[in-house]
Amino acid sequence: MTRHLRMDEPQARLLDETGQGVLSTPLPRPEGPLKVTGRARYAAEVTMPDMAVGVLVRATIPAGRVTGMNTSEVMAMPGVLGVWHGGKMLRNPAQGTANAAPVQPGDKVAYYGQPIAVVVAETFEDARAAGQALKIAYAPSNAEPDPDTAATVETAEGLDQGDLEAAMDSAAYSIDAAYTTPGHSSAPMEPHAALAAWEGDNLVVHGSYQMLKYNVNELADSLGIPPENVRIHAPYVGGGFGSKLGIAPEAVAASIASKELGRPVRVAMARQDVFEMTMRRSETRQRVRLAAGVDGVLTGLGHEDRVSNLPGESFAEPTVQATHFLYGGENRRYVQEIARVNRTCAGSVRAPGEAVGMLALENAMDELAEAMHVDPVDLRLRNIPDTHPESGVPYSARSLAECLRDGAERFGWSERGLPGERREGEWLIGMGVASAARANFIMESEARVTLNPDGTALVETDMTDIGTGSYAILGQIAAEMLGLPMDKVKVDLGDSAMPPASGSGGSFGAASAGSSVYLAAQEIRAEIARKLDCADDDLTLRDGNAVADNRKTALTELIDAPMVGHGHLEPGKTAESHSQAGYGAHFSEVAVNEVTGEVRVRRMLSAFAVGRVLNQRTATSQGHGGMIWGIGTALTEELQHDPRDGRIVNRDLAEYHVPVNLDVPDLDVMLIEERDDESSPIQAKGIGELGLSGVGAAITNAIYNACGVRVRDYPATPDKIL
Ligand code: MOS
């Protein structure tokens, strides 16, 4: 039996009436012990008998064509089994697979660091030595490594509503400021890896990916085989942040080499490969204009930006994504420029759009508050619109005001002074605030739930857990719906042979996959109700028992054969009828050293409203992750491109500075519960990326409050503060 639901159909919402009491509780991850004891095998740890090992070789020019390589010399080296390159190694995934890392057809080079060849040998050491010995000859062509001077710049009109120029001219207060943000790397802890093996025409890949349903199609497209012949296993994924949304070159390379050699081949990326070959977040140049009346209410809002990508790529960082709906102002204008450059492909990196667009917008709001001598929390409260300022549609649950007010209260915001006022020796202390907002998405998702005669349940879907807590929350939803203690529920994920889920991306995973598990469990509840001859509504399932008409029956006695429920969530029209987003408020306190310009984040608090909270612990942890990214975004993270050839110079974790433990103070997360009826059947919204949206601006705004220096060029390194 399958329960289908389109989001705009009437929904029964049971989760507040079931009484098992496991949903939302801060249960630890069921797979946690496997991870911390090394028993959870990640892609690069899977081995197979007779396995060969490949390494990827990267381009050392930014633009041109490969004209040859010393293949026969390399083939003669110890243990070397094969060299594949160009069109043969990496075919272009078909159209419509925008998530897949781009592969330039044939032997064309479009960026420095592009994968050119895979060298396969008996051992990793042999493969690496051979890869280093592979000499590639090129016919270089003119490169455009710099988005500021690129010859080709495309312009996309975002919106031109009302008359922003007039609003700026007649504003009581206005801000017109430029902000820049650097490129970012997803830098997941687990580098990308794939082990490919063929049985006849069937390919099995053990890899590290976020969205298996799509990844199967992308890999099949790349290899020119039917998707039915591809199976991907990704039970554990050590962070994705966008870089594993689509297949990457290691999967294609391993699959081709494995087919040709007739034995399993593993290709794992080195850390430098991850930086150079997986998608980067584009640098941005932004201009924000704010026009406000004497009351501080916005009358106009302009947000223009320039981002970059390779020629022909359709993705452009959606910088103004939150600008569309966060604040009011009837005169609005957005324009985006996309510079075509020879740099590593730009794509989705955690919270694409908001993560950098809100650095500018929320910094500008702080500038407006400063200009008006209004409290920045108060300014934001004054500008929460009644309906969507462009489309006029209503908002679904939106507890932005509560987040700002309750967060300010708990943080001790009233202690905030004026720039230079609070000092401890050579340290100046300041506080900053920023709103958080991240558009909410929902994706088609399927799951199968089986209730066994022994009173246990099994949840199966190809959903991934990229460190986010999918194993925990999907088990909790099933346990809650079926009235089972958590230890009676097993969750199997990350195998593309199981019912296709949304995958993990865009913060849609928990609500989408969770809703499909909810629907599957509803199907089982209906079957139990039929068996007991009671109405669905009169059935209570708790602690392994079914209660109806004052009769209690143990599920183990009631069920003699496995009951299987299939849930299928399809996104409907609510995405258009309501503006849906997760909201929050970030607060930070920093100390700025007036001698060295060093900034230490002393404490942070973020309040989030994300609909139903499915697990207090994993939700809080998602908040922490976003806030830590925010510290990096504000203070340290920056891809450095060589101006001559666009290459990423700081392509490892020693030079690309993500925050480490000493950079991260106590983080306080407040979860403000909502029921968002439009967001998903389980009334939950995305949380992962919300934590990152806006947070960096709370830190730079705190720097201003500490020392009076307004940093508009991220990150706020000491040279920009002194
Ligand atoms: Mo996300 S950038 O959709 O993993």
Report pLDDT for 2.
77
Domain-embedded: residue 645: yes
Handedness of CA 347, 348, 354, 360 (dihedral sign): negative
| Same domain (yes/no): 691, 664 | yes
Where among 553, 570, 587 does a domain terminate? 570
Q: What is the pLDDT of residues 619-652, one digit of tens each?
A: 999 999 999 999 999 999 999 999 999 999 999 9
According to DSSP, residue 41 is labeled: P
| Ligand 1 center to 351 CA (angstroms) | 6
Residue after which a domain boundary falls, among 520, 538, 570: 570
Asked if 498 and 604 sit in the same domain, the reply is: no
504 Cα nearest atom in ligand 1: 4
Nearest Cα neighbor of 484 from 447, 460, 458, 509 is 458
CA distance 67 to 62: 15
pLDDT at 98: 44
Alpha-carbon torsion angle 147, 91, 194, 502, nearest 10:
80
Can you tell me the distance from the alpha carbon of 511 to that of 222, in angstroms, rounded to the nearest whole number? 30
pLDDT one-digit tens code per residue, 214-242: 999 999 988 889 999 999 999 999 999 99
242 Cα: distance to centroid of ligand 1 (angstroms):
4
What are residue 358's DSSP bridge partners? none
Task: Encode pLDDT of 169-228 as tens digits.
Answer: 999 999 999 999 999 999 999 999 999 999 999 999 999 999 999 999 999 988 889 999
Report pLDDT for 99. 47
Structural domains in the chain (count): 2
pLDDT band at 283 (very low <50, low <70, confident <90, very high): very high
Pocket of ligand 1 (CB under 6 A): 210, 240-242, 245, 348-350, 352, 505-506
Q: Can you tell me the distance from the alpha carbon of 387 to that of 524, in angstroms, rounded to the nearest whole number?
A: 40
- CA dist 315 → 76, 93, 312, 346 (Å): 42, 15, 9, 7
Q: What is the CA radius of gyration of the chain?
A: 26
In this predicted model, what pLDDT tens digit does every residue of 112-165 receive, in sequence order?
999 999 999 999 999 999 999 999 999 999 999 999 999 999 999 999 999 999
Name the band, by pLDDT with cuts 50, 70 and 90, for residue 19. confident
Same-domain pairing of 528 and 584 = no
Judge if 585 and 716 occupy the same domain. yes
For 598, which DSSP code?
-
* Average pLDDT taken over every residue of the chain: 94
Q: Does a structural domain hold residue 555?
A: yes
| Dihedral over alpha carbons 697, 699, 418, 711 (to 10 degrees) | -60
Query: 461-515 pLDDT, tens per residue?
Result: 999 999 999 999 999 999 999 999 999 999 999 999 999 999 999 999 999 999 9
Is residue 184 situated within a structural domain? no
Residue 493 and residue 434 share a domain: no
**For residue 256, which of 32, 81, 392 has the smallest C-alpha distance?**
81
Cα 459 to middle of ligand 1, angstroms = 24
Q: Which atom of ligand 1 is nearest to the CA of 506?
A: 3
Going by pLDDT thresholds of 50, 70 and 90, the confidence category of residue 94 is very low
Tell me: pLDDT of 566 over 90.
Answer: yes
Mutate-to-test residue for ligand 1 from 244, 689, 690, 692, highest number of ligand atoms within 8 A of CB = 689
Q: Which residues are catalytic?
A: 689
Backbone angles phi, psi at 304, to 5 degrees: -120, 145
Out of 546, 570, 594, a domain closes at: 570
Which structural domain range is residue 527 located in?
2-40+443-570
Same domain, residue pair 498 and 431: no
Same domain, 613 and 508: no
- Residue 648, CA distances (Å) to 185, 240, 277, 342 in order: 10, 20, 10, 11
Question: Can you tell me the distance from the alpha carbon of 361 to that of 324, in angstroms, rounded to the nearest whole number?
Answer: 11
CB 541 within 8 A of CB 554: no
Question: Cα(216) to centroid of ligand 1, in Å?
Answer: 18
Nearest 5°: the CA angle 629, 631, 634 is 105
Does 77 map to a domain?
A: no
Ligand 1 atom having least distance to the Cα of 351 = 2
Is this prediction's ipTM beyond 0.95? yes
Confidence at residue 97, expressed as pLDDT on a 0 to 100 scale: 43
What 3 state SS string does 673-703 have? CCCCCCCCCCCECCCCCCCCCCHHHHHHHHH
| Protein residue with its CA nearest to atom 4 in ligand 1 | 242
Domain-embedded: residue 190: no
| Ligand 1 mean position, distance from CA 289 (Å) | 28
Contact in structure between 290 and 301 (CB atoms under 8 Å): yes
Ligand 1 pocket test, candidate residues 99, 208, 348, 470, most atoms within 8 A of CB? 348
Residues 519 and 623 in one domain: no
The pair of three-digit structure tokens given for residue 438, joined into one six-digit string? 């991240």
pLDDT of residue 5: 74
How far apart are the C-alpha atoms of 281 and 354, rounded to whole Å?
12
Dist. CA 180 → ligand 1 center (Å): 22
Q: What confidence score (pLDDT) does residue 513 get?
A: 98
455 and 395 housed in the same domain: no
User: Residue 454 sits in a domain of what CATH number?
Assistant: 3.30.365.10
Same domain flag for 651 and 600:
yes
Q: Is residue 496 part of a domain?
A: yes
User: Residues 682-694: pLDDT tens digits?
Assistant: 999 999 999 999 9
Same domain, 657 and 521: no
The minimum-distance atom of ligand 1 relative to the CA of 348 is 2
Percent of the chain with pLDDT over 90: 91
Which ligand 1 atom sits closest to the C-alpha of 186? 2
**300 is written with which tokens?**
């106009």
Q: Looking at the structure, do residues 706 and 634 belong to the same domain, yes or no?
A: yes
